[in-house]
Structure 1
Amino acid sequence: MFPKKPVKLVTCLVVALFFFILNYLLKLLPVTDDGHKYENKIDMLIFEELKHLPKYHINEHEDTKAAMFLEAVKSAENVEISKLNLKELWDEANLWPSVNQLTNITSPSIGSIMYALKHARITKADLDTRGTQLKLLLTLTGGQLCVFKPKWYEKEKVIEGPVYSGKDRYGAEIVAFYLSILLNKPLTPISVQRTISLKYDILPVATKRLLNTTFLRNNRTCIYGKCFYCRKEDPICEDEHNFLTGAVIFNVKKSFSNYRSPWQRTYKKTKRAQWESDLDYCKMVKTKLQKRRILDLIDTAIFDFLIQNGDRHHYETFEDTVVWIDNGKGLGNPFVQHLDILAPLYQCCMLRKKTWKSLQNLSGGNLTKYMRLMPDVQDVLTELHLQAIEKRLLLVFATVEYCNKKNNKVR
């Protein structure tokens, strides 16, 4: 048996040497001008393309559908909720989902429906036990269900760690809805900002199981809910004025199919998924999925990359089209670009012409221009995050250029 002191000393020396070597190797990793460290050779090649983007990526186009959406929203700003036929509005919105959309962004009713989601009386409040995080399932006057995701962080909060770290950011749901409009792929449910009172709006109409997870802390009403990560020690509480802000998300009355993403993460620091190390991974995916589904997943990857939602371990489809539901893990860190979210694009090197056109229409500052015009966006999106989304759009273009050189043409 070895003496304990020498063993401890040797162990400490080995650990210290390990961290010294690790730190040295990290310093040797190539770094971009803005401090981004390349994770692999593809990262390096994409950032190299970013330096030499063709001029056609800097065009200015008018987005007529976004303009129509904004006009409809503006026209509903001064509507009185009592004068709206809520049931008719809900019925119309539930007829919108089709193979191409979840939301009809050119409907004259879209503004009134968004207004109703923000102001219609809550007639029932329950827990939404789907997923891993605290959510409420609210019923509004007229019988429409919607999901309420509460505000956990201030919008300036930077989420450190892996791309899937932290709790859901309610603002990411709202920005994702707007982004789907700007991409001309309205595949997200309507999401709006709403401030409620747990004490006055929720508790009087709460179900028993919701009430069972409610308590007072410092004279403020708190809820800890029922979900995988829900704990009484970590509740959401209203503020000193009895208010709680969050995202109200339209609960579409349709059935969705659920599938495991081929690009799912392992969620383990010491274990990489096959797609993270297999450069020919897309060849395997093509043997299992049809081309249309792969193109859907590439569109989804671009959408997720722009807001940095790296947590889409599963995806939903409606009428065999991938829809963009559950986007709360976006807007975590504006200083980091997780290029691996674009793996479906740079591994498969395919892209719809329609998607390419929509992306180009957002270049030249149009993305920022229209995003700044969206309702309540100043409450959920910082200037740093907006600048980061703009930069990521250019990185998408750079990835397409990488694919062009790899395969002659991707579009």
Structure 2
Amino acid sequence: MRQMRLRIRCCLIVILTILSIIMFVSFYTILSQTHEIEQKSNIFKKLPDKRNLNHHHQQQQQQQHIPFWQALEAQNIYDINSMPRNYTVENQPNINDKIIENLFQLVNNHKLDIITDKEMNIDEFDQTFIDTIITKKKRKFNQKQDNAGDNLNTKRHKNDEKLSMATEKMISKKYNRELRKYVINTLWTYKRKYQDMKEINLADMLYEKIEQNEPEKLNTIWFEYLKTVTNLHVYNTDSKILRRILYRLLNNEILQASELTQGTQIKLILELGDGIEGLLKPYRVPRNYQTLPDHYYFSDIERHHAEIASFHLDRVLGFNRVPPIIGRILNITSDLLEHAVPDLAKTFFISPANNTCFRGRCSYYCDTGHAVCGRPKDFLEASLQILLPRPPVVEWHKITHPYRRSYSATKYAKWESNENYCYDKVLNDDYYHNRLLLDMTDLAAFDFLIGNMDRHHMMRISSFGPNSALIHLDNGRSFGRYDYDDLTILTPIRQCCFFRYSTFQRFQILYKQRLSVLLNRSLKTERLKLILINEHLIALDRRLNILLHLINDCVKQHSVAGVIVHDGI
């Protein structure tokens, strides 16, 4: 009887223990889910200020990267989840703040040499150039004559070959040095030619044409905006028109939606009334999605938040060459489908998750498996950029970038294997003996900061004439990785070693005030929150340091006045 009671007591104890464990696990699960819901409800929290930016970054919780295929299906909630806190940066050179401070001091001490035009004797340079070419031809002719002999001493022939290579190298260095002087002289000549030229704006240029064909547009905000689009920039930061045009991009009703056939990925053209047309790029991947290391730049997906961040960075840098753009939340059905042209409307469908989707027609990611869908239902984030007038209204000039990549998995571009490429192909070309050379180095600096490897062409409005700045279009493949700095983007600056003085001055200010802080402050004006995660902001400061180190290396090699050029911009 006692044994029976003891068994019953043991069974009761075991049952109570199991029930307690089950209750404890259930309670813990409920608490975890509640904590996760609280985290998701804080998606519009502000980013830390400049004092706590790095500290906030160190306190973030660890989370794995989101794979590409999952990223396309992910909800916006993943955008604000924390990043891996102990990531390593690939390809990062040594950064020394003292070197940068010394560079600033050196340039400031030689400011007079930079801004003073020092005429050269171009005839003297031309004679040097001719003599160099004649010497090269004589040497090659003598080599052929020597090689034709049958009874030459082998050892003597090798010594002559080494001497010939040394002579070739010496001549090449001298030629490059003289060519640099000539290019600097042509840039000064260009500056004097256009320094008194007034800015030309699109409104004045198109007034008669619009008055004849569409006079109702003369009283629109769009025409007012064209008054701020000049041969030097595409918006005025201090102008009230910029704020008004951004407001219209954000709030104007959509009258028609069609697809832009150019490009490799889906983009829509929206008519917004008041003469305004906007270029829409939809949400594709979360903010914390990183381009996979095995993916080439030409197969990367375009990101709407990268376009928005690039515009704000362009404004902070003072370039003013990215057309105004803003983030907007759309209803796919009422804003897009109901106003879509027939060809676009045919690509809309309802997904198995009951979300409204469309796939469009393009070269990449325009199939049902990569469709743009509401997140959730009908709601879609997108970037909306004002479209500047196109041909035949305004003529554009599409320039093949001399440092264009091969866009092949097996081939390399010529500049990747020829360290003298800038002297052979760029500085030797009269086409770059003007502001285009320094515009190209500005663009290289901009692309390096945003991590954009997809710069195959340079664009400018040719209707303005030769003194027209490049316009920095199509930045959707930027901000792909924050843990890798692609130094090949800086090749135009590293090989040519030319840099615009006004850009250097601006970078000096941004370095001291911290570029990441200024950009973060600008991004807070966006309706869409957390355009860039903290890791990308931190990477911007790091990349600016790398860029300044590269300019310092160029100054060591060619002197301050031989690198920093004041062309009046």
TM-score tier after normalising by the smaller chain length: 0.7 to 0.9
Match 2:415 to one of 266, 275, 280? 275
Partner of 2:321: 187
| 2:357–2:374 contact (8 Å) kept in structure 1 | yes
**Offset, 1:146:** 0.6
* CA separation of 1:163 and 1:401: change in aligned 2, threshold 3 A: farther
How does 1:270-349 map onto structure 2 within 5 Å? 270-283=410-423, 284-288=425-429, 289-291=431-433, 292-318=435-461, 319=464, 320-349=468-497
Q: Report the secondary structure of 1:364's partner residue.
A: helix
Question: In the TM superposition, what is the alpha-carbon distance from 1:316 to its structure 2 partner?
Answer: 0.5
CA distance in structure 2 between the partners assigned to 1:164 and 1:365 by the alignment? 35
TM-aligned CA deviation for residue 95 of structure 1? 2.7
Distance 1:58 1:367, change over 3 A: farther
Post-superposition offset of 1:173: 1.0
* 1:114-263 matched pairs, under 5 angstroms: 114-161=246-293, 162-218=296-352, 219-229=354-364, 230-253=366-389, 254-263=394-403
1:178 Cα deviation after fit:
1.1
Instruction: Tell me whether 269-278 or 341-350 shows the greater mean CA deviation.
Output: 269-278
Three-state SS of the structure 1 residue aligned to 2:383 is strand
Alignment partners' CA distance in 1, 2:399 and 2:286: 33
Alpha-carbon distance change, 34 to 401 in structure 1, aligned in 2, over 3 angstroms: farther
Give the C-alpha shift of residue 98 in structure 1.
1.4
- Corresponding letter in the other structure for 2:422: C
1:55 corresponds in structure 2 to 101
1:390, distance to aligned residue in structure 2 (A): 1.0
Runs (4+) off by over 4 Å: 48-52, 56-59
Structure 2 residue 239 is the aligned partner of structure 1 residue 91: no
- Work out the CA distance in 1 between the residues paired with 2:531 and 2:401: 28
2:213 alignment counterpart: none
Q: CA deviation at 1:380?
A: 1.3
Q: Which position in structure 1 is the counterpart of 2:543?
A: 392
2:351 maps to amino acid: R
TM-score (norm 2): 0.58
Could you say what secondary structure the match of 1:392 adopts?
helix
Q: Which ranges in structure 2 are unaligned for 5 or more consecutive residues?
A: 1-86, 106-216, 565-569
Residue correspondences, number: 346
Measured in 1, the distance between the counterparts of 2:89 and 2:516 equals 23
Which protein has the larger Cα radius of gyration, Structure 1 or Structure 2? 2
The residue matched to 1:109 in structure 2 has which SS?
helix
Are residue 401 (structure 1) and residue 536 (structure 2) matched? Answer: no
Q: Which residue of 2 is the match for residue 372 of structure 1?
A: 520
* Structure 2 CA distance for aligned equivalents of residues 392 and 96 of structure 1: 31
CA offset at residue 185 of structure 1?
1.1
What is the alpha-carbon distance in structure 2 between the residues aligned to residue 57 and residue 153 of structure 1?
A: 40
Cα deviation for residue 58 of structure 1 reads 8.5
Residue 141 of structure 1, CA deviation? 2.2
Distance in 2 (CA, whole Å) between partners of 1:362 and 1:140 is 36
What is the aligned-residue identity percentage?
Answer: 29
Secondary structure of 1:193 counterpart: strand
Contact 2:91–2:484 (8 Å) recurs in 1: no
CA shift digits 1:81-100 (9 cap, x unpaired): xxxx9962211112322121
In the aligned structure 1, how far is the partner of 2:298 from the partner of 2:437? 23
Cα deviation 1:37-61 (Å, max 9, x = unaligned):
48xxxxxxxx3465652326789xx
Structure 2: distance between partners of 1:159 and 1:86: 44
For the 8 Å contact 2:514–2:541, the answer to whether it is kept is no
Paired with 2:441 and 2:420, the residues of 1 have a C-alpha distance of 16
- Once the two structures are superposed, residues 219-241 of structure 1 have per-residue CA deviations (whole angstroms, 9 ceiling, x without a partner) of 22111111111223321111224
CA contact (8 A) 1:49 1:399 kept: no
Paired residues of 2:89 and 2:483 also in contact (CA < 8 A): no
Alpha carbons 1:49, 1:402 under 8 Å: kept: no
